[in-house]
């Protein structure tokens, strides 16, 4: 390589970097990345104090990284390049053929022990029967799809431990999902279960409570989206898989939904179709995360009342349970702060199910609120 050619390459590289810098300065900052489904860092406000303690330069660096021109395209290119050299794990997500599966890391043992004890204490504070409803993730149910040698925490052992330590009756989500593991029970680009998976989950709840199960033939699934790219699509940078389909199964006729999203009751719906035009399409189920939501079935006034202390998996599950109960109550401890036992007593609840995906349960730090 001649000296002149080396200088040419150096100048070309500097021109490329300079062009990107000018491009970044001229372009307006983006507030949000739809691909990554998160808010992006903005240019920080300057102060001598922040410059002195280093927070200003750190914030500038974060802003440049988030606002980098064609960031989403570069992220996807990086993942594709890493795949070509044999990599199978991308930011804690395994590429398993046409499916993305989130790795479950070994949790904080003290947190897991405490969380289980909080459920036991809830059961001691109420006369309402309390059930454990832990949903194993795709990393467990579809373990055979993981790349050879891929690591993921043993969720099956945890389910056995949870039942033994609490002594509470359990919902056999693991058995229900494993029995249908050859079906599309989880999304391929998202960590949630599909409506089909939620249907099997609802029947697992009904079986645990000694109630008749639902008949799949009674439902006519409606495909409402064929371009759903979920959280694992965003996290991994793997943007070349075929998007998921999303289905609604339950007719809304006769079922009223009340949301306390803003602290006051307001009418809602089983499905908020406005989210189908957004990146976060899964939030179309009940309108996404909220402190309290109540579903009432006017066609089944004597069906009893169930309370789900829930994570987001319950959003697609609740419409199915509303077929069997007169009322389905959902409390999210990330936002709801009043005593759960008191709520159950005041609202005539017949059964309580602490219903979490295993990865959410073993990392959640809000379950201490069950002890109030």
What is the secondary structure of 270-298 as a DSSP string? SB-GGGGGSS-GGGGBTTS--SEEEEEET
CA distance 231 to 138: 14
Nearest alpha-carbon partner for 209 in 312, 321, 316: 321
Q: What is the per-residue pLDDT across 336-354, written as a single tens digit (0 to 9) for each?
A: 999 999 999 999 999 999 9
Judged by DSSP in three states, 337 sits in coil
pLDDT at 77: 56
pLDDT at 62: 73
Is residue 42 domain-shared with residue 144, that is, in the same domain?
no
Pick the last residue of a domain from 64, 96, 128: 96
Are 130 and 162 contained in the same domain?
yes
Q: Are residues 275 and 347 in the same domain?
A: yes
Co-location of 213 and 108 in the same domain: yes
Burial of 317 (0-12, 13-18, 19+ CB in 10 A): buried
Asked if 43 and 137 sit in the same domain, the reply is no
Confidence label for 320 from pLDDT (cuts 50, 70 and 90) = very high
**What pTM value is reported for the model?**
0.82
Clarify whether residues 166 and 275 are in a common domain. yes
**Confidence tier at 14 by pLDDT (50, 70, 90):** low
How far, in whole angstroms, is CA 315 from its chain's centroid? 10
- For residue 27, the model assigns a pLDDT of 56
Give the residue-averaged pLDDT of 192-204. 98
What pLDDT does residue 9 have? Answer: 59
Q: Return the closest-CA partner of residue 155 out of 355, 357, 317.
A: 357
Is residue 72 scored above 90 in pLDDT?
no
Cα distances (angstroms) measured from residue 364 to each of 2, 116, 214, 257, 360 = 60, 11, 31, 27, 6
Q: Which pLDDT value is given to residue 211?
A: 97
Per-residue pLDDT, 23: 47
- pLDDT over 70, % of the chain: 82
Q: Where are the alpha helices (DSSP H) in 151-257?
A: 155-166, 173-178, 195-208, 231-236
Query: pLDDT category, 174, cuts 50, 70, 90?
Result: very high
Whether residue 228 sits in one domain with residue 79: no
Measured between alpha carbons, how far is 90 from 103 in angstroms, rounded to an integer?
A: 10
Statement: residue 10 has pLDDT above 60: yes
Q: What is the pLDDT of residue 318?
A: 98
Question: By mean pLDDT, which of 49-58, 79-88, 147-156, 202-211 is the weakest?
Answer: 79-88
Q: Are residues 283 and 185 both part of a single domain?
A: yes
Given 49, 74, 96, the domain boundary residue is 96
What's the rounded Cα separation, in Å, for the pair 282 and 287? 9
Q: Quick one: average pLDDT of 314-323?
A: 98
One domain, residues 132 and 53: no
Residue range 222-254, pLDDT digits in tens: 999 999 999 999 999 999 999 999 999 999 999
Write down which residue in 39, 65, 96 finishes a domain. Answer: 96
* Residue percentage of the chain with pLDDT more than 90: 73
Asked if 337 and 368 count as a contact pair (C-beta separation under 8 A), the reply is no
- Count Cα neighbours of 167 within 13 Å in the Cβ-side half-sphere: 6
Name 192's Cβ contacts closer than 8 Å, sequence gap at least 6.
186, 230, 282, 312, 313, 316
Q: Across all residues in the chain, what is the average pLDDT?
A: 88
Lowest-confidence segment of 50-64, 137-151, 171-185 by average pLDDT: 50-64
Length of the chain: 372
49: pLDDT strictly greater than 90 = no
Q: Residue 66 above 60 pLDDT?
A: no
C-alpha span between 60 and 169 (Å, rounded): 52
Q: How confident is residue 34, by pLDDT bands cut at 50, 70 and 90?
A: low
257 and 246 in a single domain? The answer is yes
Q: What is the pLDDT of residue 45?
A: 78
149, 207: one domain: yes
Residues 6 or more apart in contact with residue 270 via CB below 8 angstroms? 248, 250, 252, 255, 257, 285, 286, 295, 319, 322
Q: With bands split at pLDDT 50, 70 and 90, how would you rate the model's confidence at 21?
A: low
Each residue of 98-123: pLDDT tens digit?
999 999 999 999 999 999 999 999 99
Grouping H, G, I as helix, E, B as strand and the rest as coil, residue 58 is helix
| Residue 185: per-residue pLDDT | 98
Residues 171, 308: one domain? yes
Task: Please state the rounded mean pLDDT for residues 183-193.
Answer: 98
Domain that holds residue 59: 3-96
Look at the chain and report how many structural domains it folds into: 2
């Amino acid at each position: 390589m001649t000296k002149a050619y080396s200088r040419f390459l150096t100048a070309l590289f500097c021109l490329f970097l300079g062009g990107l810098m000018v491009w970044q300065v001229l372009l307006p900052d983006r507030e949000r990345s739809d691909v990554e489904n998160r808010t992006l860092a903005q240019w920080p406000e300057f102060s001598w104090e922040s410059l002195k303690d280093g927070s200003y330069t750190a914030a500038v660096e974060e802003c440049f990284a988030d606002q980098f021109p064609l960031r989403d395209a570069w992220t996807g290119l990086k993942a594709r390049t890493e795949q070509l050299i044999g990599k199978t794990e991308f930011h804690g997500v395994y590429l398993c053929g046409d499916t993305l599966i989130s790795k479950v890391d070994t949790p904080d043992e003290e947190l897991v022990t405490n969380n289980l004890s909080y459920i036991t204490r809830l059961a001691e504070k109420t006369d309402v029967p309390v059930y454990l409803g832990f949903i194993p993730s795709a990393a467990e149910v579809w373990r055979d799809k993981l790349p050879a040698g891929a690591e993921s925490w043993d969720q099956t052992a945890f389910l056995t431990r949870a039942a033994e330590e609490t002594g509470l009756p359990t919902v056999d989500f693991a058995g229900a999902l494993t029995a249908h593991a050859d079906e599309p029970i989880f999304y391929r680009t998202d960590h949630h279960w599909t409506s089909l998976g939620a249907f099997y989950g609802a029947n697992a709840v009904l079986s645990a409570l000694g109630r008749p199960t639902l008949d799949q033939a009674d439902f006519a699934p409606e495909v409402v989206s064929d371009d759903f790219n979920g959280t694992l699509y965003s996290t991994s940078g793997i943007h070349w898989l075929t998007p998921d389909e999303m289905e609604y199964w339950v007719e809304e006729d006769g079922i009223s939904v009340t949301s306390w999203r803003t602290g006051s009751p307001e009418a809602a719906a089983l499905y908020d179709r406005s989210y189908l035009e957004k990146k976060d399409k899964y939030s179309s189920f009940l309108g996404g995360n909220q402190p309290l939501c109540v579903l009432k079935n006017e066609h089944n006034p004597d069906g009893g009342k169930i309370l789900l202390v829930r994570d987001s998996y319950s959003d697609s599950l609740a419409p199915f349970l509303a077929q069997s109960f007169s009322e389905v109550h959902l409390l999210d401890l990330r936002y709801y702060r009043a005593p759960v036992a008191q709520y159950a007593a005041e609202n005539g609840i017949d059964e309580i199910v602490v219903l979490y995906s295993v990865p959410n349960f073993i990392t959640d730090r809000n379950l201490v609120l069950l002890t109030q």
